[in-house]
């Protein structure tokens, strides 16, 4: 397994991976219309480029032993000492093989590096019906709060906000 930091040139690859994993993840939770809307909103190549170039999102891409990309994670600073894990997805056929744990660990490592030894917290939004809730709990996250967040076009994200505290060195 290899995980590397993505560059702007990787936006088409992240878009391609998202097209394979995002609809599959939400097919039993969200309407096809909301999935299409969210794919454009979060994963069009121009929007990925904007996230990385203008909004301080850092992406990492995981590769399997044969060198094929199989997952990604995105993290961004939200406030002093607070980071938001925006996205973490692994191709369905590669789930339960440790890629999600490795991507999660890389995101936390990124936060520790960015925080420079100071304590920090990481939060993420997860749909309240997403089976990945168990994964996040296993990774040490707890539910901090919940909400229904409007995202446009009459759609909402009905999420828990999960949180993990990273101690200072």
Per-residue pLDDT of 122-165, as tens digits, reads 999 999 999 999 999 999 999 999 999 999 999 999 999 999 99
Residue 117 has pLDDT above 90, yes or no: no
pLDDT digits (tens, 9 = 90+) for 36-92: 999 999 999 999 999 999 999 999 999 999 999 999 999 999 999 999 999 999 999
pTM of the shown model: 0.94
- Long-range contacts, 37-45 (Cβ 8 Å, 24+): 37/151, 37/152, 37/153, 37/155, 38/151, 38/155, 41/151, 41/152, 42/18, 42/87, 43/14, 43/15, 43/18, 43/19, 44/15, 45/11, 45/12, 45/15
| pLDDT at 133 (0 to 100) | 95
| pLDDT at 37 (0 to 100) | 95
Pairing mode of beta strands 82-90, 120-127: parallel
Region 2-166: CATH code: 3.40.630.30
**Looking up tokens 């060195």, which residue turns up?**
169
pLDDT digits (tens, 9 = 90+) for 8-41: 999 999 999 999 999 999 999 999 999 999 999 9
Structure tokens at 69: 């990309």
d(C-alpha 7, C-alpha 145), whole Å: 33
């Amino acid at each position: 397994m290899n995980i590397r930091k993505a560059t702007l040139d990787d936006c088409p690859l992240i878009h391609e991976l998202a097209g394979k994993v995002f609809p599959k993840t939400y097919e039993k939770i969200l309407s096809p219309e909301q999935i299409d809307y969210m794919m454009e909103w979060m994963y069009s190549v121009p929007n990925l480029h904007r996230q990385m170039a203008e909004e301080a999102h850092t992406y990492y891409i995981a590769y399997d032993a044969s060198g094929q990309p199989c997952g990604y994670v995105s993290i961004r600073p939200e406030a002093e000492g607070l980071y938001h894990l925006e996205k973490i997805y692994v191709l369905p056929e590669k789930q339960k093989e440790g890629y999600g744990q490795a991507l999660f660990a890389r995101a936390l490592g990124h936060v520790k590096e960015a925080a420079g030894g100071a304590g920090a917290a990481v939060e993420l939004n997860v749909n309240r019906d997403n089976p990945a809730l168990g994964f996040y709990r296993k990774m040490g996250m707890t539910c901090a709060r919940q909400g229904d967040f409007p995202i446009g076009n009459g759609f909402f994200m009905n999420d828990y906000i999960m949180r993990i505290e990273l101690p200072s060195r």
